[in-house]
Amino acid sequence: MTSDFFAENLLNWYDNHGRHNLPWHHNRNAYRVWVSEIMLQQTQVTTVIPYFQAFMERFPDVQSLAEAPGDDVLSYWSGLGYYARARNLQKAAQSVTADFGGQFPDTQEELETLTGIGRSTAAAIVAQAFGKRAAILDGNVKRVLARYHAVPGWPGQTSVLKQLWEHAEAHTPDERAQDYTQGIMDLGAMVCTRSRPACNDCPLQSGCTAYARAEISLYPGSKPKKAKPEKTTWMVILEDSEGRILLERRPPSGIWGGLWSLPELDPAYGADELQDACEQSLGFDCTEPELISGFRHTFSHYHLHIQPARLGVTGQNNVRDNAQHKWLHRDEALSLGLPAPIRTLLTHPAPHLSHTSTQERT
């Protein structure tokens, strides 16, 4: 089968069955396409839609994003995960404003110079916003091409990725770039799904090598599994006499980078040592701790066992508001960019939280 068969059948399917009414399809421009593409990395469309709509209302253009306080940007990203995306988004917006006069460049090469924009994202912007031919290769497209051509191996491997890019380039048509790129993403999301793909509804079925071999489940190859390490921490909800809670800003890079979180204490401390630990680490006296049910939070590369404890601050408060610390009432705290488990703890502070396992993109 030729690439003409692939593109023509895919476009015919898209015309009749694809998604034509997503929020970023309205008032389409490079800014809206770019924000949607960054949000859609590792995240499903249904999850992204409300975040995108709220983000656009607060930051309607690249200038407003570039000039906004960093905490505002993170607060509108809170719960979406992979928070480096939000920081990189603002850095790129500032570059567009400073280096390109507030106008997004319309070439893939220039777009790839912006923070957080790689080859596939740049191509998606070129195709979706400017209607130019550009081959994309996101997770959905990798799955479609790996099955169609029966490309063995995990797409994270350099040799496998190289083959998939070659196929992506070969199949991308010169015309209707906008529709083709949306169509192949839709096909992967709606038909050629990771599990239980709807092969009988696929416009490419007759040319699909994996289908012909009855080997759909073998493609794409899985990432080699490795046991995730387990870590533990105390997270303390410290409340002063005014009912305010102490929050600490996370370091700019790493897990939850730049977000506001609860102070953490060494897991080596026993529950009966938390009062002394607070005095030694934070410089003030506390009441006896009230333990809250612990839970496990799963990141992409390790499991974190969180043991929360609530303590009242007594005597003189030696920690003042500054760039790294804030004393806030709960409603004020919830307006900041908070990691999902911290938001849960502050929203439902009762000592009977369930021991559920959560997963978040870091």
List the structure tokens of 32. 């809206």
- As a whole number of angstroms, the distance between CA 318 and CA 298 comes to 34
| CB proximity list for 20: less than 8 A, separation 6 or greater | none
CA distance between the termini of the chain: 41
DSSP letter at 214 equals: T
List the structure tokens of 243. 């009912």
- As a whole number of angstroms, the distance between CA 358 and CA 342 comes to 12
Phi/psi for 296 (5° steps) reads: -105, 130
DSSP letter at 322 equals: -
- As a whole number of angstroms, the distance between CA 97 and CA 100 comes to 6
Q: Are 362 and 256 in contact (CB under 8 A)?
A: yes
Phi/psi for 98 (5° steps) reads: -80, -40
Per the DSSP assignment, residues forming a β-bridge with 313 are 286
List the structure tokens of 141. 């497209």
Active site residues: 37
Nearest Cα residue to 78 out of 317, 250, 301 = 250
For the chain, the residue count is: 362
Omega prior to 308 cis, within 30 of 0: no
Local structure of 148: helix, strand or coil: helix
Rg of the chain over Cα atoms, rounded to whole angstroms, equals 24
With tokens 């508001």, the residue in question is 321
- As a whole number of angstroms, the distance between CA 38 and CA 114 comes to 12
| DSSP per-residue string spanning 273-329 | GHHHHHHHHHSSEEPPPEE---EEEE-SS-EEEEEEEEEEEES-------SSEEEE-
List the structure tokens of 12. 């015919």
